[in-house]
């Protein structure tokens, strides 16, 4: 407990799944946390589950693909807490899986806006806010598909490869400002976004057969790595990723 004491952290897409689990983990470690939500609500309920006083957190609406919405998030954070130390750019989408021959330009544009332009805008705005306080930590959500291939994932995988490329290059540009940039790269994780696919026994069995640890990940499995990257324990870590895939990528 207390590994993030009094740090000000933003977690985008924290109305459920990985984002909510990380936001709750940050709160339990003593951070002041700004949670965000877009079309689906519920961020406040997740924060309340921690039992942490409401003076330690707030909820801000965010469309991460729109720069004015991102700027409003940063402004609200600074108005409430006075600084920004950690920004986890988690908001994104994985609901456009399709075989390459069936994928559309609309699929491509949608995922690029939600998974790439959002990371660019959020990270740039966060970095500018961190300049005045001597640095900080930016955490991206990439994917195991940043590194390996899976069926029906050309467009989604391309966006997550883009996230990893931005992570490395942002880290290089921002190092002199003491701003670290890293990424989490989850494998198959049980969230609402992929609930229907995981309820397909064929899909579930295929995934389980690929994972050496023998089980699907849970959002809570992502929290420890996120806390590490947010904390001063990772002060010499930048431009890299932590794979959280149960060993799946070792099989490729």
Q: What is the CATH number of the domain that holds 99?
A: 3.40.50.720
Which residues span the domain enclosing 186? 8-251
pLDDT at 250: 82
pLDDT of the residue at 201: 81
What does the pLDDT read at residue 67?
96
* Model pLDDT for residues 223-247, shown as the tens digit of each residue: 999 999 999 999 999 999 999 999 9
Whether 215 and 246 have beta carbons less than 8 Å apart is answered as yes
Q: In the predicted model, is pLDDT for residue 146 greater than 90?
A: no
Domain count along the chain: 1
Residue 33 scores a pLDDT above 80 = yes
Evaluate whether residue 128 is within a structural domain: yes
d(CA 149, CA 137) in angstroms, rounded, equals 29
Please tell me the predicted confidence (pLDDT) of residue 191.
Answer: 82
Choosing from 97, 156, 177, 203, the catalytic residue is 156
Query: Is residue 2 a part of any domain in this protein?
Result: no
On whether residue 213 sits in a domain, the answer given is: yes
Residue 118's pLDDT is 96
Taking 90 as the threshold, does the pLDDT of residue 26 lie above it? yes
Of the listed ranges 23-32, 41-50, 74-83, the least confidently predicted one is 41-50
Percent of the chain's residues with pLDDT above 70: 100
pLDDT at 176 over 90: yes
Instruction: State the pLDDT at residue 24.
Output: 98
Residue 3 placed within a domain: no
Q: How confident is the model at residue 252 (pLDDT cuts 50, 70, 90)?
A: low
Is 1 part of a structural domain of the chain? no
- Whether 156 sits among the annotated catalytic residues: the reply is yes
The mean pLDDT value of the chain amounts to: 93
Q: Is residue 96 part of a domain?
A: yes
């Amino acid at each position: 407990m207390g590994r993030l004491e009094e740090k000000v952290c933003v977690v985008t897409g924290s109305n459920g799944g990985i984002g909510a689990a990380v936001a709750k983990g940050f709160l339990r470690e003593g951070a002041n946390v700004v949670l965000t939500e877009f079309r689906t609500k519920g961020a406040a309920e997740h924060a309340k589950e921690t039992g942490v006083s409401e003076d330690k957190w707030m909820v801000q609406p965010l469309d991460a693909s729109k720069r004015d919405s991102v700027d409003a998030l940063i402004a609200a954070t600074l108005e409430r807490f006075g600084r920004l130390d950690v920004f986890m750019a988690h908001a994104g989408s994985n609901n456009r899986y399709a075989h390459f021959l069936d994928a559309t330009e609309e699929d491509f544009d949608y995922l690029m806006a939600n998974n790439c332009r959002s990371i660019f805008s959020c990270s740039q705005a966060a970095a500018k806010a961190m300049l005045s306080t001597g640095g900080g930590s930016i955490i991206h959500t990439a994917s195991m598909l940043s590194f390996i291939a899976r069926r029906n994932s050309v467009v989604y995988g391309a966006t997550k490869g883009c996230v990893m490329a931005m992570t490395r290059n942002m880290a290089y540009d921002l190092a002199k400002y003491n701003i670290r940039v890293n990424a989490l790269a989850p494998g198959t994780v049980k969230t609402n976004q992929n609930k229907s696919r995981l309820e397909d026994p064929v899909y579930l069995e295929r995934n389980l057969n690929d994972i050496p640890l023998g089980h699907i990940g849970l959002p809570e499995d992502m929290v420890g790595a996120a806390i590490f990257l947010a904390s001063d324990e990772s002060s010499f870590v930048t431009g890299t990723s932590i794979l959280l895939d149960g060993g799946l990528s070792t099989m490729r």
